[in-house]
Structure 1
Amino acid sequence: MKKIILPGLIVGAVLFILSYGSLYLGIRFFPDLFIDYNNPLFNSEGNRDILFYMHPFVISFALSWFWDRFRGLFQGVFVVRGLEFGSVYALVALLPVMWITFSAMDVTVYMVLSWFLYGFVQAVIAGILFAKLNP
């Protein structure tokens, strides 16, 4: 359990910082993409904001368990292992979720592509960190 919880907390904190840094930069450099978020679909009126802020920790613990269970399948130096880990996660989990999201909700292709890229980058960063913390 220690091999899952401690790396999960560390990676969660790193992803939290990177997530909010990238959100700030994204709004600053790609404002047209973020105008689409002024949609009632994305307004929870503050009732569930804490769930949004917990996301980096939820994903980091899930990915930490996945890493601990399957890390032996990823070979090479830590960067390659992280990239392969992120790719597996993107193909197995993100692609189907983004597909159903795009087909069922009124969101743009650019939004879905940005979510896919964001999730892929998160998983690669998590994989690189897990490869160092829990080789």
Structure 2
Amino acid sequence: SHFWEYVVSDETINMGYTSDGRCLGTPEYNPPPMPIRLQWDLPPPALAAIDRSYQIALDLCNDVDLRIYMHTAYGKGFMKECKVSPDAYIQMALQLAYFRDAGRFSLTYEASMTRLYREGRTETVRPCTIEST
């Protein structure tokens, strides 16, 4: 959290802005060195293990069934008319689907920064509202 505060405030505090909102100072750009290809000298057993692992991963990827359904009944405009953000709408839909499938509420995760409270830390908020039940 200290680093993030530095990121969002350093430019404003130390560099400043011109009257038209542009950053003061001169931009510096030093291009990084060009990448070089690494040459590996692996023994045959390691190459065989890599090939086996690759085949297992390929088999797992090929064992996935994916169906995509086009939903055209309504979109984000409807959600906003209901005074619900599209993100909140999708979150509630996911929670409802989980509840219908598992028969219990899911634990949702929402980070909350309490940097300016007490010793400052990141807490986890477990939102559950009357509206979501």
Q: What is the TM-score normalised by the length of structure 1? A: 0.20
The two structures have a TM-score, normalised by structure 2, of: 0.20
Which is greater in Rg? Answer: 2
Determine which structure has the larger helix proportion and give its number: 1
Per residue, is there more strand in 1 or in 2? 2
